[in-house]
Structure 1
Amino acid sequence: MKSITLFLCLFTYFSASAQESCMTVENIKALDAQWEEKNLNPDPEFFKRVLADDFVWVHNHASMIDTKTSTVKRAEKQAANEGSDTRSRIQSEVKVAITGNTAIVTGFTIVDRGPTPTRYHFMRTYVEVNGTCFLTGNHTMAIPEGE
């Protein structure tokens, strides 16, 4: 009888754990805020852990396209030089839309690298795989001053 009770307790615990999802608005917003913070204060291990293997980042007018490898390498270089040249990154108007195991995050980020800050619109795509959320795509577009 004790072994059946133990089995049922373990089954219930693991079933509940398996049902937990990273795909909630709160979790995705927190993960996206970490993305911004780790771009300000480079942490290569964060990028290795969070970026999908086929991650793609399309920058302003496709002026540059990054992969997981290039993003991690840039973070490693910046970390070795004790940081990036970015003074601040401030998000606003962040919205999350979730469909199934996919979240689309949109909003604005003001990036200050001097001499004046630049406002970007972004759209990022997160996908949940086996209970873990990965960033698979990022598109950023600078907004001209006055718009």
Structure 2
Amino acid sequence: MKSSIFIILLGFVSYFSASAQQTCMTVTSIKALDAQWEEKNLNPDPEFFKSILTDNFIWVHNHVSSVDDKESVIKRAERQIANEGSNTRSRIQSDVEVAITGNTAIVTGYTIVDRGPTPIKYNFMRTYIEIDGKCFLAGNHTMAIPDEE
């Protein structure tokens, strides 16, 4: 009898523990994480990039003008810190949308990046995945929008 009660109690505890666990895979938390990605690209933080990027992260830039992996993003941030910051004056996001399916979130929108002489508007698409309750950035694609569009 005691073992039956113990098993039932253990089941309740397991159920409520699983229910109480938070997921990072919500529109609100993904938008906040993506805003943090933009902020850390403006104010470089190598430790942030080490913690958020998957080991196989890939960032395809405008017309494949360059492709970054996790290591190159971290090294760029370290160089920018050594040079007392980046040459970017601002990064402003707009029209951010999040689509979540299972443990994957696709984030799309625009970022206006001001490095001078004039700001450039980029369309972006980023892919976040949840692993063991933590969200990571797995891929990023950015494309400059020509002024005439």
| TM, length-normalised to structure 2 | 0.90
What residue ranges of structure 2 are gaps of 5+ in the alignment? none
Query: Whole-Å Cα distance in 1 between the matches of residues 25 and 61 of structure 2?
Result: 25
- Give the C-alpha shift of residue 104 in structure 1: 0.3
From 11, 15, 18, the equivalent of 2:18 is 15
What residue ranges of structure 1 are gaps of 5+ in the alignment? none
- Give the C-alpha shift of residue 111 in structure 1: 0.1
Q: What is the one-letter code of the residue matched to 1:84?
A: S
Query: Whole-Å Cα distance in 1 between the matches of residues 118 and 65 of structure 2?
Result: 20
Match of 1:44 in 2: 46
Q: What is the one-letter code of the residue matched to 2:17?
A: F
Query: Whole-Å Cα distance in 1 between the matches of residues 14 and 110 of structure 2?
Result: 44
Q: What is the one-letter code of the residue matched to 1:134?
A: F
Aligned pairs (5 A) from 1:23-62: 23-62=25-64
Match of 1:107 in 2: 109
Q: What is the one-letter code of the residue matched to 2:34?
A: D
Q: What is the one-letter code of the residue matched to 2:59?
A: W
Q: Secondary structure at the match of 2:24?
A: coil
Instruction: Provide, for residues 28-76 of structure 1, a one-character-per-residue CA deviation record: whole Å limited to 9, x for no partner.
Output: 0000000000000000000000000000000000000000000000011
Q: What is the one-letter code of the residue matched to 2:29?
A: N
Q: Secondary structure at the match of 2:78?
A: helix
Match of 1:144 in 2: 146
Q: What is the one-letter code of the residue matched to 1:60?
A: N
Instruction: Provide, for residues 88-132 of structure 1, a one-character-per-residue CA deviation record: whole Å limited to 9, x for no partner.
Output: 000000000000100000000000000000000000000001100
Rg larger in 1 or in 2? 2
Q: What is the one-letter code of the residue matched to 2:102?
A: G
Q: Secondary structure at the match of 2:148?
A: coil
Query: Whole-Å Cα distance in 1 between the matches of residues 100 and 84 of structure 2?
Result: 36
Percent pairwise identity: 68
RMSD: 1.9
Match of 2:77 in 1: 75
Query: Whole-Å Cα distance in 2 between the matches of residues 63 and 17 of structure 1?
Result: 45
| TM, length-normalised to structure 1 | 0.91
